[in-house]
Amino acid sequence: MQRTWRSRVLIAYSVAILAFLYLPLMILALYSFNESRLNAVWTGFTFDWYLSLFKNRRVLEALTNSLIIAVASTIVSTILGTMAALALNRYQYKFKPAINSLLYLPILIPEIVMGLSLLVLFSQAQFPLGKPTLILAHITFCLSFVIITVSARLEGMRQDLEQAAEDLYATPWQTFRYVTLPLAMPGIVAGALIAFTLSIDDFIISFFVAGPNSTTLPLYIYAMVKRGISPEINALSTLMIFATIILVIVAQILQPQHTRKH
Amino acid sequence: MKKGKLLILPAIFWLCLFFVIPMLIVVAVSFATRSPYGQIIFDWNIGNYLRFTESLYVSIFIDTLFVAVVTTFFTIIMGYPLAWTIAKLPQKWQQPGLILVMIPFWINFLIRSYAWVIILRTQGVVNTLLLNFGIIDQPLQLLYNDVAVMLGMIYALLPFMVLPIYVSIEQLDTRLLEAASDLGASPLATFRKITLPLTMPGIAAGTILVFISSLGMFVVPDVMGGAKSALVGNLIQNQFLSARDWPFGAALSIILALLSLLLIVLYYKALQSQKGGAENAENVA
């Protein structure tokens, strides 16, 4: 495409919109290093807010909760999701449209509705709210995303290696263990990373199913925001933004580039 | 080897237990009544749905739809050119460009709304700058109003619009555009007659994602909006947490879920007919 004035305007406009997306996050990060507690006036550079964050027992507790919940829900949703994706890729099912809607509906339904429906379930079953309910809820919303991600990898995979293994008298288990699994692994790892990111970052669903002693990082940030503005929130948010950026980049690199060629 | 077919069962079982059954319970609760002590009495009535027609709730619903429409409009205006620019980048810059749009998509609404609070609050970045330059002598009230909520929504949901549009532009057959300009069509005519119809599925997908997400949004209005900027999401949140009127909250969320699903079904219907249209366009070309 030739560089006309039209394409220059388009690029300038796009850069402005990217700036719109990133400037608020950068300002948020910048003010986590500002000495002044109250104002937006820059009074000097400091690491104090990060230090006070690391000394704050409740932040560390929330971090521990978030990590326990994210690891547990990532493991379970990755295993269940990978199994389902393998089965969907390999076999024909009689009620495929119904199965597909069941598997993908959790992504389409508003998060708030999913959160409150789990709250209603747990309260009707008299199941006390806490880390276990958070883990169950997080597995539920991560599952569909894992299935989509692993399926994308399996669809782009060649099947001839598996057939070769079978021709060479590998047992179904050996074929799976030494051929299918290694080939599908980038998709599985990407799915697990997405599940981990979703879980660590989730606020809406956790908001409904958390108990008194199961505050996660986003829930802690919410409580802080409601109490008032403080540079500690900036520091904690900045750390979460960086964690998310790293996870997204790694997951993106691992994912198959489907959209690229058609 | 039929055993492998059963591998799908744990996922199905899980989603039945933690997705289908909870939704069915919510449907049941939406037909129940709240006792004076906040308990749920299952007496099967449609009172909660009728309550939704009270003028207070109708006006919250209209506000929600209005915010959703405005948000969708601005995300298209902003998202389409951005998606176009990324799709037309040289090959090696495509993935970094895409990641740039993906990153905000993954950072939660809470942190992203809070970033705007830092900027817009009374002692925030904008007010401090304006005061220092002597443009104003009293800080402006930029937060806690409907405009702030809409700004927050546009900011939160823009990536939902860019990604599907990017995919549709990426799949666009550029030979059609070349053919059009070879035949003397102006850039505007090419865009209106070819590019826009062929990328319409992406715009539709983005519209569905943005519209549905903004209908159920409660984080942005909760953090950036005032008491008067409550939307349906906040109303539901209140019924479950402070008002403790679960039956009414359940009815509201069923309405929200049904509306969302209806939009998705309409989208698929439109997509089907659009596919026919796109094929025609390609045949013509």
Both A34 and A86 in one domain: the answer is no
Let me know if residue A156 belongs to a domain.
yes
* Best residue of B42, B95, B106, B218 to probe chain A, by most A CBs closer than 10 Å: B106
Let me know if residue A259 belongs to a domain.
no
Both A83 and A167 in one domain: the answer is yes
**pLDDT tens track for A104-127:** 889 888 899 999 999 999 999 999
B8 close to A (CB below 8 A): yes
- Give the residue ranges of chain B where pLDDT is below 70: 1-2, 274-285
| Separation of alpha carbons B20 and B175, rounded Å | 47
Both A107 and A206 in one domain: the answer is yes
CATH number for position B95: 1.10.3720.10
- Give the residue ranges of chain A where pLDDT is below 70: 1-3, 39, 255-262
The whole domain housing B133 covers 54-284
Question: How close is the nearest chain A Cα to the Cα of B55, in Å?
Answer: 23
| Separation of alpha carbons A208 and B237, rounded Å | 9
Let me know if residue A260 belongs to a domain.
no
The domain total for chain B is 1
Tell if the CB–CB gap between A87 and B19 is shorter than 8 Å: no
**pLDDT tens track for B70-105:** 999 999 999 999 999 998 888 888 888 888 888 888
State pTM to two decimals: 0.88
Supply the pLDDT for residue A262: 34
CATH number for position A158: 1.10.3720.10
Q: If you count residue pairs, one on A and one on B, with CB atoms under 8 Å apart, how many are there?
A: 233
Both A238 and A151 in one domain: the answer is yes
Both A131 and A23 in one domain: the answer is no
Which residues of chain B make contact with A102, given a CB cutoff of 8 A?
12, 15-16, 19-20
Contact (CB, 8 A) for A192 and A74: yes
Burial of B234 (0-12, 13-18, 19+ CB in 10 A): buried
The whole domain housing A23 covers 1-46
Both A23 and A73 in one domain: the answer is no
Supply the pLDDT for residue A260: 39
Let me know if residue A20 belongs to a domain.
yes
A181 close to B (CB below 8 A): no
Both A139 and A240 in one domain: the answer is yes
| Separation of alpha carbons A37 and B206, rounded Å | 40
Both A110 and A179 in one domain: the answer is yes
Contact (CB, 8 A) for A118 and A159: no
Tell if the CB–CB gap between B14 and A110 is shorter than 8 Å: no
Let me know if residue A262 belongs to a domain.
no
* Best residue of A66, A95, A117, A254 to probe chain B, by most B CBs closer than 10 Å: A117
